[in-house]
């Protein structure tokens, strides 16, 4: 009887071990766990054409013609008087006083100009974005040794050219008493 009890215990223990080992343990499972997950838990896949940035127009070669040199580029730019010196050009002038006071005076003067629209003003930058006689440009106030320099510049930061900026700067110069 003793051998029957040990044999039956050994069979039950073996069956129990086989059931436990094959049912819940992931070591005995086969297959790819990555795709067994729900779609929400799978990692994102990037399509091959979105892997790399587009480079078709990255190295566009300019059309044949003349070459541009630094001296040729400098000669084509209009010159601006250096801040701190009285400007003789139509692009700017100097007003005595500090920049913040002159910024306020310029704002008041611009508000009285007929046909001028102030799109935005930035006191920290010392600039008014204006639309006057069909031209969009900036009226910029910067600090100089002799006070504040008021000038008209285009969106690229170069001196604004054309009749509208010259007319507005002349009007501001007469209103503010610039040099």
Question: Angle at which helices 99-111 and 163-176 pack, to 10 degrees?
Answer: 110
Q: Which CATH architecture has domain 81-176?
A: 2-Layer Sandwich (3.30)
Residue 167 has phi, psi (to 5 degrees) of -65, -40
> What is the per-residue pLDDT across 122-172, written as a single tens digit (0 to 9) for each?
988 889 999 998 888 999 999 988 889 999 998 888 888 888 899 999 989
Q: How confident is the model at residue 79 (pLDDT cuts 50, 70, 90)?
A: very low
Domain boundaries, the chain: 81-176
Query: What's the rounded Cα separation, in Å, for the pair 132 and 120?
Result: 13
Percent of all residues in the chain with a pLDDT value above 70, rounded to a whole number: 68
| Predicted confidence (pLDDT) at residue 26 exceeds the cutoff of 80 | no
Using CA atoms of 80, 106, 179, 163 in order, give the dihedral in degrees to the nearest 10: 50
- 8 Å CB contact between 87 and 151: yes
Flag whether the pTM goes above 0.75. no
pLDDT tens column, 30-61: 555 555 667 777 777 777 777 776 676 666 66
Question: For the chain, what is the mean pLDDT?
Answer: 76
Phi, psi dihedral angles at 66 (to 5 degrees): -80, 160
Q: Cα–Cα distances in Å, from 175 out to 11, 104, 105, 112?
A: 110, 13, 9, 10
Euclidean distance between CA atoms 121 and 133, whole angstroms: 19
Write down the pLDDT at residue 128.
92
């Amino acid at each position: 009887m003793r051998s029957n009890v040990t044999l039956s215990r050994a069979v039950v223990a073996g069956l129990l071990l086989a059931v436990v080992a094959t049912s819940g343990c992931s070591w005995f499972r086969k297959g790819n766990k990555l795709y067994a997950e729900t779609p929400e838990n799978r990692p994102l896949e990037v399509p091959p054409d979105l892997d790399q940035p587009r480079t078709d127009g990255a190295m566009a070669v300019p059309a044949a013609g003349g070459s541009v040199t630094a001296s040729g580029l400098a000669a084509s730019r209009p010159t601006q008087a250096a801040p701190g010196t009285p400007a003789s050009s139509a692009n700017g002038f100097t007003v005595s006083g500090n920049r913040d006071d002159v910024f306020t005076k310029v704002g008041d003067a611009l508000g009285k100009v007929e046909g001028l629209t102030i799109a935005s003003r930035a006191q920290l930058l010392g600039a008014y974005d204006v639309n006057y006689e069909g031209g969009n440009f900036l009226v910029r106030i910067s600090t100089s040794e002799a006070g504040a320099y008021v000038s008209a510049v285009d969106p690229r930061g170069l001196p604004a050219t054309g009749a509208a900026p010259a007319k507005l700067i002349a009007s501001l110069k007469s209103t503010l008493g610039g040099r």
